[in-house]
């Protein structure tokens, strides 16, 4: 049974009336003057009447008359002109103004005022207002409670399942991975170990190198030519190469124990190839091995020469030199253990190399910040520690191959 349209106590504001259109609450409100539902359509501007016997009151109607607003028995014909279709009737589409003309304007099947026969009272089961069926004041919406209960049950079930898994240590249906064997440092593996590689060039027999002669050797594929050298006379000995422009020779000299005592790359001596090599040995008698290779591993022919150094005798003090072009000034100084200072003053850019009796060598090109001041910062300066007696070899030449004149001052500390 649907609740008829009319004014009813506002379920949210008990001191107000709100209009119920037969299907839902409207936004129309009016001050409450009684608890019973009242007539009046808010669309017409009429407010609900008073409840003390006035317009719309539920007073007793005269005999045989259907008083305006009286609680007459429901009629068995259509609603009056301007009224909404009767709630609960099958025909909800009939236009206003149709129906039985015997119905007075504004009347309803049940008169306004106290509920009559067949009309439940306010708040009663099946009545109007809170608790009545179909209206906003009907049964509370229990959908959120139902949904919340379902979610709670699902969460509880999941927590129970998780707890069982934690206690039991997981499902027995899933196989666990067995222990894996990791080879220790002492266990052998099938993987072969890499053999250490030796990048040392392979030596080939180049024959014998005699003092005062030249020997030609062939180098190929990065190999080194090995020559045997025997020194019988004491004195400085120069060893150098002479090769074509496509070669870049490198020289090394080993003593009888296989220790390298001298080596050079790109210090040409009397050669048109600036990449040729040259070095000076102290001249200690004994057996030596001379190794020759090309820096880039180029295949080719290299000529090797060994000659005694023709040098002036030097002494502690000052000596002059005058060089033209590629000339080299060389001198021998008899020394004993101690520190020797060699200082050059010139008008060009000379370089100086010193080889001590024990095989120690040193070279200088231009002065460093710690060296004594001079008018030419391009002049070389050396302090040499001598460990044994013998002959100290001093070589001076111009860096660019230009003419150079100057003095060499030697002192012992």
Residues 139-187: tens digit of each pLDDT: 456 677 788 888 888 898 888 888 777 776 544 444 444 444 444 544 4
Residue 244 CA to residue 249 CA, distance in Å, equals 10
CA–CA distance, 325 with 336 (Å, rounded to integer): 34
Question: Looking at per-residue confidence, does 38 or 137 come out higher?
Answer: 38
Q: Give the Cα separation of 335 and 357 in Å (integer).
A: 8
284 versus 95: the higher-pLDDT residue is: 284
Q: What is the CA radius of gyration of the chain?
A: 63
Pinpoint the alpha helices (H) of 309-357: none
The candidate with the shortest Cα–Cα distance to 326, out of 382, 402, 411, 390, is: 402
Q: Under 8 Å CB-to-CB from 355, ≥6 apart: which residues? A: 236, 280, 281, 282, 361, 392, 393
Give Dmax (Cα) for the chain: 168
Res 209: pLDDT: 96
The answer, yes or no, to whether residue 130 has pLDDT greater than 80, is no
d(CA 266, CA 347): 25
- Cα distances (Å, whole numbers) of residue 50 to 11, 26, 53, 154: 20, 21, 7, 55
Between CA 130 and CA 2 the distance in angstroms is: 14
Listed in sequence order, the DSSP H helices in 269-398 are none
Report pTM.
0.45
Split at pLDDT 50, 70, 90, the class of 12 is confident
Residue 151: φ, ψ to 5°: -60, -40
Partner residues linked to 251 by β-bridges:
264, 292
Q: Which residues touch 222 (CB under 8 Å, ≥6 apart)?
A: 201, 202, 293, 294, 297
pLDDT at 266: 85
Q: What b-and-e string marks burial along 349-371, b requiring 16 or more CB atoms within 10 Å of the CB?
A: bbbbbbbbbbbebeebeebeeeb
Question: Which residues make beta-bridge pairs with 292?
Answer: 225, 251
- Among candidates 277, 210, 211, 220, which has minimal Cα distance to 243? 277
Which of 374, 187, 371, 388 has the alpha carbon at shortest distance from 284? Answer: 388
Range of weakest confidence among 43-47, 77-81, 326-330, 396-400 = 77-81
Residue with tokens 């005022």: 113
Q: Are 381 and 367 in contact (CB under 8 A)?
A: yes
pLDDT of residue 142: 67
Structure tokens at 390: 């013998």
Higher pLDDT, 358 or 171: 358
Instruction: Confirm if 79 and 108 have CB atoms less than 8 A apart.
Output: yes
Could you give the CA distance from residue 212 to residue 189 in angstroms, rounded to a whole number? 60
| Percent of the chain scoring above 70 in pLDDT | 65
| CA distances in angstroms from 71 to 121, 283, 295, listed in the order given | 13, 149, 128
Highest mean pLDDT pick, 48-57, 123-132, 276-285: 276-285
Distance CA 284, CA 47 (A): 138
Structure tokens at 168: 């039991």
The total of other beta-carbon atoms located within 10 Å of residue 196's CB is 5
């Amino acid at each position: 049974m649907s609740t008829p349209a009319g004014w009813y106590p506002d379920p949210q504001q008990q001191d107000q009336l709100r209009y119920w259109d037969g299907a839902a609450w409207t936004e129309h409100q009016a001050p409450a003057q009684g608890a019973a539902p009242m007539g009046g359509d808010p669309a017409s501007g009429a407010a609900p009447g008073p409840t003390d016997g006035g317009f719309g009151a539920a007073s007793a109607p005269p005999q045989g008359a259907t008083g305006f607003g009286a609680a007459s028995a429901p009629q068995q014909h259509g609603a009056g002109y301007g009224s909404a279709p009767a709630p609960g009737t099958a025909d909800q589409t009939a236009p206003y103004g149709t129906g039985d003309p015997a119905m007075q304007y504004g009347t309803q099947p049940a008169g306004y005022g106290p509920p009559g026969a067949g009309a439940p009272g306010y708040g009663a089961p099946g009545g109007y207002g809170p608790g009545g069926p179909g209206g906003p004041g009907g049964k509370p919406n229990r959908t959120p409670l139902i949904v919340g209960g379902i979610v709670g049950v699902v969460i509880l079930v999941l927590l129970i399942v998780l707890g069982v898994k934690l206690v039991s240590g997981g499902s027995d249906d899933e196989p666990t991975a067995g222990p894996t064997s990791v080879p220790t440092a002492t266990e052998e593996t099938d993987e072969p170990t890499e053999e250490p590689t030796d990048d040392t060039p392979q030596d080939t027999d180049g024959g014998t190198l005699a003092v005062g002669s030249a020997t030609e050797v062939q180098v190929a594929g990065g190999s080194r030519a090995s020559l045997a050298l025997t020194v019988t006379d004491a004195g400085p000995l120069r060893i150098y190469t002479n090769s074509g422009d496509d070669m870049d020779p490198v020289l090394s000299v080993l003593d009888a124990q296989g220790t390298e005592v001298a080596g050079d790359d790109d210090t040409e001596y009397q050669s048109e190839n600036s990449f040729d090599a040259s070095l000076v040995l102290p001249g200690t008698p004994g057996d030596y091995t001379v190794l020759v290779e090309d820096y880039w591993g180029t295949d080719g022919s290299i000529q090797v020469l060994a000659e005694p150094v023709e040098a002036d005798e030097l002494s502690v003090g000052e000596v002059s030199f005058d060089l033209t072009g590629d000339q080299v000034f060389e001198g021998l100084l008899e020394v004993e253990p101690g520190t020797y200072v060699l200082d050059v003053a010139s008008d060009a850019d000379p370089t100086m190399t010193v080889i001590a009796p024990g095989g120690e060598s040193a070279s200088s090109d231009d002065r460093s910040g710690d060296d004594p001041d001079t008018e030419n910062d391009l002049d070389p300066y050396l302090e040499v520690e001598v460990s044994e007696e013998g002959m100290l070899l001093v070589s001076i030449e111009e860096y660019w191959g230009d003419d150079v004149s100057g003095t060499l001052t030697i002192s012992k500390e």
